[in-house]
Copies of this chain bind each other. A is one copy, B any other.
Amino acid sequence: MRTLQVALAERSYPIHIGEGLLDTFPLAEQIRGNQVMIITNETIAPLYLDKLAKQFADVQCDTLILPDGEKFKTLDTLETIFDALMSKRHSRTTTLIALGGGVVGDMVGFAAACYQRGVDFIQVPTTLLAQVDSSVGGKTAVNHPRGKNMIGAFYQPRLVLIDTLVLETLPARELAAGYAEVVKYGLIRDLPFYRWLETNNEKLLSRESDAIAEAIYRSCENKAQVVADDETEQGNRALLNLGHTFGHAIETATGYTSMLHGEAVAVGMIMAVRMSSELGWVEAGLEADLTALLATWELPVVVPAGMTPEQFLDLMAMDKKVHNGQLRLVLLKALGEAVVTADYDKAALESTLEAFCGV
């Protein structure tokens, strides 16, 4: 087991990473009160819920199984969580445990932030995406029909438990979606890691355990450093959103159904790299290299048919990085060095959108 610490003063917490931790890590010792509610979804429940619940034989342990999918990441589902907590009389000393991917983690984290104005929660991410991204850093939210993650809170877990064994049951498509975020850390701030990923791509594709664990560890390390420097996204934390502004527009346009989040981010990152190269900030070859790397994972590398530049601009105008009417984008100043800026030639944005929309 390897342990990383996310350094956030009195809200600091550990990320434990290892094979088989669902069986071996003494999670019950981490609970402060005498109640827990494990919240998961109908895909994960049959695989891991019993195993996790078994740890809490000595306290009140309730479980809640939600429908699976981003389209259920809504205020309505949040209300379902509150109803369950209230009907089982969970008090302010309860602990919510999110067992699942990013959707479960984001919702349970937000529920924990709001229930009785804040209760403890623990993340047990079961997808690569959640392990390397959403379960680390305290961003919690639900979607609004007009925009993703528009309603939420910054709220840190008390602990993140990453069992790499759970990836064995993860569909290849989901693994690839998580891989997109792994690559992101290399692109935005860690050139050595990007090169390592290129070199070890075959091992990762064949799910070699050591390589996967290393990729998770280095991803979490990068994320933890960014978050520790800027918990509430006043500055550099926004760098983690490389590809996300484009990606969110795609997700919103397609109703959060046809593409996984990581898939939309994969396309979005290629768009951001293209725009960076149109601005002359990175070499033109990077777009092709990145596209080829992502394609080995069978990630989408093109915009869904029918989307227009106007639609992108309209949806991107709702992005949380809009400040006083200015759309700020995460772009690359160089490979391994991202910036958040509204100071770019609008023509580069337009020609990027036109190129990807086939206009």
Q: Give A residues with C-beta under 8 Å from B.
A: 33-34, 75, 78-79, 82-83, 86-87, 89, 91-93, 113-118, 139, 141, 144-147, 149-154, 232-233, 317-318, 320-325
Contact = CB atoms under 8 A, between A and B. Distances in A.
A317 B116 contact: no
Nearest to A114: B151
Contacts of A114: 114, 151-153
Nearest to A78: B75
Contact of A86 (B89, B92, B139, B318): B318
A232 B118 contact: yes
Contacts of A78: 75
B89 A79 contact: no
A34 B321 CA distance: 15
A78 B115 CA distance: 15
B34 A146 contact: no
A117 B75 contact: no
A251 to B, nearest CB: 16
Nearest to A117: B152
A149 B145 CA distance: 26
A93 B328 CA distance: 13
Contacts of A147: 86
A141 B153 contact: no
Nearest to A154: B117
30 contacts: A34-B324, A34-B325, A75-B79, A83-B144, A86-B144, A86-B145, A86-B146, A86-B150, A91-B320, A91-B323, A91-B324, A91-B325, A92-B322, A93-B323, A93-B324, A113-B153, A114-B114, A114-B151, A116-B150, A116-B151, A116-B152, A116-B320, A117-B141, A117-B152, A117-B232, A117-B233, A117-B320, A118-B153, A118-B154, A118-B232
